[in-house]
Amino acid sequence: MTWINRDITEIDGQRLHPETLMMGYGYFPGLSEGAVKCPIFQTSTFVFRSAGEGKRFFEVAYGLREREPHEAQGLIYSRLNNPNLEILEGRLSIWDGAERSLAFSSGMAAISTCLFAYCRPGDVVVHSTPVYGGSDYLFEKVLPAFGIRTVSFAAGAGNAVLDAAVAEARRHGRIAAIFVETPANPTNGLVDLAALAAAARSLEATQATRPPVVVDNTFLGPLWQKPLAHGCDIVVYSLTKYVGGHSDVVAGACVGSSAVLEPVHVMRTILGTMTDPHSAWLLMRSLETLELRCTRSIENARRVAEFLHDHPKVERVSWLGFLDPASEQGRLYARQCLAPGATFSFTVRGGEREAFRVLDELKLVKLAVSLGSTESLASHPAAMTHSDIEPARREELGITENMIRVSIGIEHPDDLIADFRQALATI
């Protein structure tokens, strides 16, 4: 970026932390009339200072020549780049310690653009289950329509099921990508990130290409799980969730090395799936309080989960903080997760009727899909986010009729507990 060349990332030998850098990294008030916050660059196109500059910008944008040392991609058109987009992407990279980030119009735009950049007809994608309902539809319905086969394995079932899925996929063609959502939505099952990276390295030796390991890290976000540090290649986010965190923006991201993201960048340019300047501006606002919001949400989630765990009308609470440290999942959690998160599911005694009754009686907790916002949300996965999955398969995945998924926000925990207490009392 032409104006991002004077960032302070260290003071007196102290490397600045991400939450500090979110206040100004990549933005210089002197270039915007002294505005302390980055303005919204609500423009479709940018003026070149000369025809020669326009030519040089396009040469770089379309890969017609190699960039000169320290040469940035010039501003051309907001489908390619925009100041808000570029500053946001610079800040997103900091949290994961990545070389590069790409922002998209939604989480599904990020996932689908990423997979279409790497997959071709005849290829195979190995993926974990369960995943977000939109991702499941992409794997089960959309990719097969383009001649791309998918093979799944169960999150939380151990590395043997991953190895079996990879072996099966190899019988059908080239494995183009390995995609996982961990913790899984909505069961919180964990997948071993280091084992995924090892599987990808083995495939490089047998099929000549290393499939990227793509991790949907939305549930724990960039604070509490670092897939790149475990050898994975691309981290995807629904920025709508914890990063946005205010239920007022829809966006997504891919994070990784410059080399692995370049095909995704090219595909995004052609498909036009980048986020818009206003959404990018909202996300920059939200990044400033990400650590504060997530820390409070997790503490609240602990209090609520402990209450639900001891309630006589609750069968099971799938909060990561309750994993047995001696179990395989517990050991995996200790290796790759930094906190248990604030989104989890619990099952009530009964079925759909009892679950619906609890949801309908909640007064503070909002009955809505999505997660990771300042307000607490509750939903019924089987009837809502995962309703397009065939019922028998839902049961196999552990998405039962008596399951409720909650995303705990930043309200006072005593008030949230009071709300769940009175709602559970009605069944």
Shared domain for 308 and 255, answered yes or no, is no
| pLDDT tens digits along 309-367 | 999 999 999 999 999 999 999 999 999 999 999 999 999 999 999 999 999 999 999 99
User: Counting every residue, how long is the chain?
Assistant: 427
Q: What is the CATH number of the domain that holds 400?
A: 3.90.1150.10
Shared domain for 302 and 359, answered yes or no, is yes
| pLDDT tens digits along 227-248 | 999 999 999 999 999 999 999 9
Shared domain for 152 and 205, answered yes or no, is yes
| pLDDT tens digits along 78-89 | 999 999 999 999
The end-to-end CA distance of the chain, in Å, is: 58
Q: Is residue 92 part of a domain?
A: yes
- pLDDT of amino acid 309: 98
- pLDDT of amino acid 280: 98
Domain end position, chosen among 286, 319, 339: 286
Distances (CA, A) of 377 to 336, 407, 416: 26, 5, 11
**Sheet order of strands, 252-256 included:** 100-104, 252-256, 234-238, 213-216, 175-181, 124-129, 149-154
- pLDDT of amino acid 62: 83
Of 8-17, 78-87, 132-141, 338-347, which gets the smallest average pLDDT? 8-17
Q: Which residues contact 47 (CB under 8 A, 6 or more apart)?
A: none
Question: Among 93, 103, 54, which Cα is nearest to 76's?
Answer: 54
- pLDDT of amino acid 61: 85
Q: Are the C-beta atoms of 209 and 157 separated by less than 8 Å?
A: no
Shared domain for 156 and 252, answered yes or no, is yes
Domain that holds residue 105: 83-286
Q: Is residue 58 part of a domain?
A: no
- pLDDT of amino acid 3: 44
Assign 1 a pLDDT band (cuts: 50, 70, 90). very low
Q: What is the CATH number of the domain that holds 157?
A: 3.40.640.10
**For residues 6-34, average pLDDT:** 88
Assign 2 a pLDDT band (cuts: 50, 70, 90). very low
Q: Are the C-beta atoms of 359 and 367 separated by less than 8 Å?
A: yes
Shared domain for 308 and 196, answered yes or no, is no
Taking the CA atoms of 210, 254, 220 and 350 in sequence, report the sign of the dihedral they define: negative
Q: How far is 323 from 193, CA to CA, in rounded Å?
A: 18
SS3 content of the chain, % helix, strand, coil (to 5): 45, 15, 40
Is pLDDT of 4 > 60?
A: no
Domain end position, chosen among 286, 319, 348: 286
Shared domain for 244 and 222, answered yes or no, is yes
Q: For the chain, how many structural domains are there in total?
A: 2
Question: Among 279, 264, 292, which Cα is nearest to 88's?
Answer: 279
- pLDDT of amino acid 6: 58
Question: Among 251, 290, 257, 302, which Cα is nearest to 273's?
Answer: 251
Shared domain for 282 and 296, answered yes or no, is no
How many helices (H) does the chain have, and how many strands (E)? 16, 14
Other Cβ atoms less than 10 A from the Cβ of 193: the count is: 25
Q: Is residue 364 part of a domain?
A: yes
Is pLDDT of 69 > 80?
A: yes
**For residues 285-289, average pLDDT:** 97
Tokens of 219: 């549930």
Q: How far is 278 from 41, CA to CA, in rounded Å?
A: 8
Is pLDDT of 71 > 70?
A: yes
Shared domain for 252 and 278, answered yes or no, is yes
Beta strands in 155-292 (DSSP E): 175-181, 213-216, 234-238, 252-256
Domain end position, chosen among 265, 286, 307: 286
Of 69-73, 98-102, 109-113, which gets the smallest average pLDDT? 69-73
Mean pLDDT of the chain: 95
Q: Which residues contact 71 (CB under 8 A, 6 or more apart)?
A: 60
Q: Is residue 173 part of a domain?
A: yes
Shared domain for 266 and 391, answered yes or no, is no
Is pLDDT of 25 > 50?
A: yes
- Quote the DSSP letter at residue 229: G
- Quote the DSSP letter at residue 38: P
- pLDDT of amino acid 63: 80
